[in-house]
Amino acid sequence: MALILADILSPFSESEFFRMVFGRTWLHVRGTEGRFHHLLDWPALNDLLGRASTAKHLRFAVDGRYVDLAKLVQKQVTLPPPHAPSERIDAAALQDLLGRGGTIVVDAVDDLHEPVTRMTERLEAELHESIQANAYVGWARARGYGLHWDDHDVLVLQVRGKKRWRIHPSTKPFPTTDDDSLEPPTGAPAWEGDIADGDVLYIPRGAWHCAEALDEPSIHVTFGIPNRTGLDLVAWMAQRLRASEAFRMDLPRFSSSEERAAHQARLRVAFEELWQPSLIDDFFRAHDRAAVARPRFTLPMSAMAGSLPSEDALVRVVGWRTLELRPDAHGNVEADIAGRRHTFPASIEPILRLLDDKGVCSLGELYAVSNGGTAKHFIRMLMLRGLIAIEEQATEASKS
């Protein structure tokens, strides 16, 4: 069951979260034990650690220091050269690390484990950003990672056990990636507390923090949220300014001061033409249109010609965050999705708008807003373009 943000923050109000907390300060929300157990249980974690493909996703730390991954990986030759050997975790070395209070980090666990993938998708749709989820695992009383800050917001979901967290305010407002001017904080933390099974912790970009396990098995999953800044806005404007002759011209290094002033004035005029009241909204729309969705496949159905499943099968949007349809010169409608322009017959517009409004609906609902026979053709077209996925059985988990 992929919870939405309101469920995750409950009983704290989502509207209050965005108004008072998001991007501003930290927040600890106590939750019901077990509500995140579906995300990652111990059998699933053991299975991930046993896969060769997981090794490149792993990091390890003991008492605030990283451990050289080479010490924990065994190379296994399965085919002769030029085939590369596979890498697998050395089980004995890993057990020794954990016994010394080590922490396992599974980076981008959203690419490896379906329940985390689906929750990450939901958060990306709500927050309009591409998000990465990491899993942190440990059980001895020790710090896995030392005091540090992140260049993105962090949403922590305590899945199993508990951990003690310490948070200090940022020592520089809104630091950016690779900012080396931050001095570590001194003195006592501004907040210290235990995060228990089912709890949530939100930490804004730049806030210093560290966590330690408390002599019990612990799993928490963090969702890294990179929010757009004014720097991103200016970079997007720079791309649009390529259409301006004034901005494409060479700067007049060897001209007179009067000529340089005149050129600067031309640049300002071109810049201010973009600086409209809708500028930030336009940027957000462009950011959403360029977002690349996580692929989801509907094999073997999508690879074979044939009928669609029964009307209670679910159709899920996977290709876009927001859909802006506009008429073209030929009586069709078009939309920019993931950096590509898609053209659709105008008759498919009710299907597209229902999908955009609900995100998930049954085939029967789509047939009801359009011509059934024609709808099947266009629904299949959307599936082949990777914009929707069809789930043949409407299970309780898929309804979430």
Q: pLDDT, tens digit, for every residue of 355-394? A: 999 888 999 999 999 876 678 888 988 998 889 989 886 4
- Nearest-angstrom CA–CA distance, 160 and 216: 9
Same domain flag for 259 and 370: no
Residue 116 has pLDDT above 80, yes or no: yes
- Nearest-angstrom CA–CA distance, 388 and 374: 17
pLDDT in tens, 181-212: 889 999 899 999 999 999 999 999 999 999 98
- Nearest-angstrom CA–CA distance, 232 and 391: 37
Same domain flag for 203 and 88: yes
Which tokens is 396 given? 């309780």
Which tokens is 84 given? 């590369």
The answer as to whether 10 is a domain residue is yes
Mean pLDDT over 118-146 rounds to: 87
Percent of the chain with pLDDT over 90: 60
Q: Which domain holds residue 20?
A: 5-225
Mean pLDDT over 110-135 rounds to: 94
* Side chain identity at residue 326, one-letter code: R
Same domain flag for 218 and 235: no
Residue 297 has pLDDT above 80, yes or no: yes
The answer as to whether 203 is a domain residue is yes
274 Cβ contact list (under 8 Å, min separation 6): 237, 240, 241
Residue 1 has pLDDT above 50, yes or no: no
What average pLDDT is seen over the chain? 89
Based on the structure, what is the number of domains in the chain?
A: 3
Same domain flag for 243 and 195: no
Q: What angle do CA 197, 203, 209 make, to 5 degrees?
A: 85
Helix (H, G, I), strand (E, B) or coil at 32: coil
Residue 248 has pLDDT above 60, yes or no: yes
The answer as to whether 367 is a domain residue is yes
Same domain flag for 15 and 61: yes
Same domain flag for 53 and 193: yes
The answer as to whether 296 is a domain residue is no
Please tell me which residue, 273 or 178, carries the higher pLDDT value.
273
Residue 301 has pLDDT above 60, yes or no: yes
pLDDT of residue 394: 46
